[in-house]
Amino acid sequence: MNASSPDLWISSLKTLGMLSIVLSFVILFFFLIKKLSHRNIYGQSEIKIISSSYIGPRKQIILIDVMNEKFVLGVTSEKITCLGKIDNNNVCQYTENQNNQEKTQNNFFENLLNKTNKSKQIKNELLLNKENEKDNN
């Protein structure tokens, strides 16, 4: 048995070595296929995902750029729907509206904060007046 055991170890190591070489070639092959399949002949992809947001299980909204045109897509597990196209003018209007809403919200919160600070000041003044009256009596 001792004479055959070194042969068994050597053949096992050779088999594992060949198996690892074959598996690395298969993994490399699939990696290259995945990388090259998303590119056109010039090496750059024409479709770019700008942003995506999940709105439910297996439901998302995606903003993509196709040849410098932006589209909003609704994607579910069953289908893909084009929700609209975005022009540069619409983007500018949206950002202006967003800035105006943020300013309005900031003003609202500032006013609310000022009102709460004023009410705290009034409460403090009332407490001081009551303490002064107690001291006077």
pLDDT digits (tens, 9 = 90+) for 53-92: 888 898 998 888 888 888 888 899 999 988 888 876 655 4
The separation between CA 80 and the C-alpha centre of its own chain, rounded to angstroms, equals: 20
pTM assigned to the model: 0.37
Mean model confidence pLDDT for the chain: 77
Model confidence at 102: pLDDT above 70? no
Q: State the Cα–Cα distance between residues 55 and 74, nearest whole angstrom.
A: 10
- pLDDT at position 17 is 95
Model confidence at 133: pLDDT above 60? yes
User: What's the token pair of residue 127?
Assistant: 């407490």
Q: State the Cα–Cα distance between residues 65 and 45, nearest whole angstrom.
A: 10
Strand partners, 53: 61
User: Which range scores top for mean pLDDT: 23-27, 34-38, 47-51, 110-114?
Assistant: 23-27
Cβ(103)–Cβ(88) below 8 Å: no
The maximal CA–CA distance of the chain, rounded, in angstroms, is 113
pLDDT tens-digit readout, 112-127: 666 666 666 776 777 7
Q: Which is more confidently placed, 3 or 136?
A: 136
Q: Residue 92 gets which letter from DSSP?
A: H
Q: State the Cα–Cα distance between residues 60 and 49, nearest whole angstrom.
A: 13
Q: State the Cα–Cα distance between residues 37 and 64, nearest whole angstrom.
A: 18
- pLDDT at position 79 is 92
- pLDDT at position 92 is 46
